Copies of this chain bind each other. A is one copy, B any other.
Amino acid sequence: MYDKGTMSTSKRRKLAYHHGDLERALIDSGLAVVKRSGIEALSLRAVARQAKVSHSAPYHHFSSKAELLAAVAAAGFDRMVEGIRQQTTGIGLDDPLEGLRAIGRGYVMFAVCHPSVFRLMFRPELTRPSKHPRLLAAETRAFRTLLETIVGAQQSGAIVGQDPRPPAAFAWSTVHGLAMLHLDGVFAETPVGQIDIQILASQINESIISGLKAHPWQ
């Protein structure tokens, strides 16, 4: 195994046969394809075409289509965390409930703005039989943000309880379900569909806060 860092400068000049950093290029191509043509057009060969390499080239960096898509999904998780951080910064960190509101806003916002990427992040074929380590790590990073905010809210007394896991699962489930049901168009043909998604999201966000303040467990 050679060091990628030292070779990158010499390789970036010759893109003829050896690409240089095809692994990263494939992940970016995957994001581009899924954004442009949706998740059903996200084939291994389409990603290779987008990266201008042959249809078998990805196999030298990913052992299967699932592993490539898992890497793309992990990149999506990182972008979502980044987007949520943008919602979080600028908010007074002294109020943990505002932090929770920002996370909920950012989560739904990312799903609405990048629907195909968001859906890819939760494709079941990427999670079984065993999840790609990179995807798992990205998920854990994203969840840690929520867990830490909940712990802060509990320590400051904004919400009651010592165990952050049930409140975190509750909050994550609600925003995740809202995003998924909206993206799947389940609300569209129901009376709920008449409500603007952003307004609905903020209303539901407040319901989450209400549900968190009460502490029925224990």
Could you tell me which A residues sit within 8 Å of B by CB distance?
A: 39-40, 119, 122, 124-125, 127-128, 131, 136, 139-140, 143, 147, 165-170, 172-178, 180-181, 183-187, 189-192, 194-195, 200, 203-204, 206-214, 216-217
Contact B186–A165 (Cβ < 8 Å): no
Complex CA–CA separation, A128 to B186 (angstroms): 11
Which single member of B139, B180, B203, B210 contacts A180 (CB below 8 Å)? Answer: B180
Known: A131-B185, A178-B177. A204 touches B122 (CB 8 A): no
Q: Are B210 and A217 in contact (CB under 8 A)?
A: no
B169 touches A178 (CB 8 A): yes
Q: Please give 15 more A-B residue pairs, beta carbons under 8 A apart, in addition to A127-B185, A177-B180, A210-B216.
A: A39-B124, A122-B180, A136-B189, A147-B190, A166-B200, A170-B207, A175-B177, A176-B181, A177-B177, A207-B211, A207-B212, A210-B211, A210-B214, A211-B214, A214-B214
Copies of this chain in the oligomer = 2
B211 touches A165 (CB 8 A): no
Among the interface residues A169, A187, A208, A214, which one has the most CB atoms of the partner chain B within 10 A? A169
- Chain B residues near A128 (CB, 8 Å)? 185
Inter-subunit contact A191/B139 (CB<8 Å): no
Write out the residue numbers on chain B whose beta carbons fall within 8 Å of the beta carbon of A194.
Answer: 165
Chain B contacts for A181, CB-based, 8 A: 169, 172-173, 176
The answer on a CB contact under 8 Å between A140 and B184 is: no
Contacts of A39 in B (CB 8 A): 124
User: A191 to chain B: which residues have CB within 8 Å?
Assistant: 147, 165
- Which are the 7 A-B pairs with shortest beta-carbon distances? A177-B177, A211-B211, A210-B214, A173-B177, A206-B216, A176-B177, A173-B178
In the complex, which residues of chain B have a beta carbon less than 8 angstroms from the beta carbon of A140? 189-190
Using Cβ atoms and an 8 Å threshold, which residues of chain B touch A124? 39-40, 119, 183-184
Set of chain B residues within 8 Å of A195, measured between Cβ atoms: 165-166, 169
Q: A177-B175, A178-B169 are in contact. Are A186 and B216 (CB under 8 A)?
A: no
The answer to whether B216 and A143 touch across the interface, beta carbons within 8 angstroms, is no
Q: Which of B172, B189, B209 contacts A177 (CB 8 A)?
A: B172
